[in-house]
Amino acid sequence: GDSVTQMEGPVTLSEEAFLTINCTYTATGYPSLFWYVQYPGEGLQLLLKATKADDKGSNKGFEATYRKETTSFHLEKGSVQVSDSAVYFCALLDTGRRALTFGSGTRLQVQP
Amino acid sequence: EADIYQTPRYLVIGTGKKITLECSQTMGHDKMYWYQQDPGMELHLIHYSYGVNSTEKGDLSSESTVSRIRTEHFPLTLESARPSHTSQYLCASSDGSTLRGYTFGSGTRLTVV
């Protein structure tokens, strides 16, 4: 079945450091891929998405490229801020699947 | 501005009580979902609905029940709360397209004492 694997956290960085959170997936079809962010005490917010191979999703300085050959969708940001501290979830939605399949989440802590 | 609303945000309740967690959306989405989020952050699908009078159980077995009498409303009920039900419950909706993601509510954090 479909699955999403994320790097384990927590990831602790200093402000202005470069961020990479790895995400790989297994799917039978050609899924759409998403990154969601969850701030403390809140629900999930859609951060960015990509719907086909080689698409790049971007938002608020974050980017991720849909790599079909490596089945990956790594999240990157060139310079993190303290306000980026949150939990990040990678997810996929495949045609015919009943619901989003989420990774286990990666907690990011950015220190001033 | 949120288009999907969950109430209450926080609830502390005694064992054996009946509770209903409310979820409403104003986007006219046909598909709605309930996820349970454990302290380790993982999200588990417990219920979903593809439209009015349609409800299905998700991947994680749950003692809760849901109903979908109106498109905009998807409440979750626990007939007899137990400490093992303590968790965060997240409601989401979608228009069914794989090109767009889900819209999530802010969640209800339930504590059963």
Q: What's the CA gap between A30 and A44, in Å, rounded? A: 24
- Closest chain B CA to residue A48: B101
Interface test with A, best of B98, B106, B108, B111 (most A CBs within 10 A): B98
* Among the listed residues A3, A76, A82, the one whose alpha carbon sits nearest the alpha carbon of residue A35: A76
Which of B42, B43, B98 is closest, CB to CB, to A32?
B98
Q: What's the CA gap between B56 and A103, in Å, rounded? A: 22
pLDDT tens for each residue of B54-74: 999 988 888 999 999 999 999
pLDDT tens for each residue of A59-112: 999 999 999 999 999 999 999 999 999 999 999 987 776 789 999 999 999 999
pLDDT tens for each residue of A10-47: 999 999 999 999 999 998 878 999 999 999 888 899 99
User: Encoding tokens for residue A96?
Assistant: 């015919």
**Cβ distance of B43 and A42 shorter than 8 Å:** no
CB A86 within 8 A of CB A44: no
Amino acid B34: pLDDT: 96
DSSP state of A88: E
Which of B45, B90, B99 is closest, CB to CB, to A32?
B99
Q: How many CA atoms lie within 13 A of B9 on its CB side?
A: 4
Q: Work out the average pLDDT over B17-39.
A: 94
Q: What's the CA gap between B24 and A80, in Å, rounded? A: 34
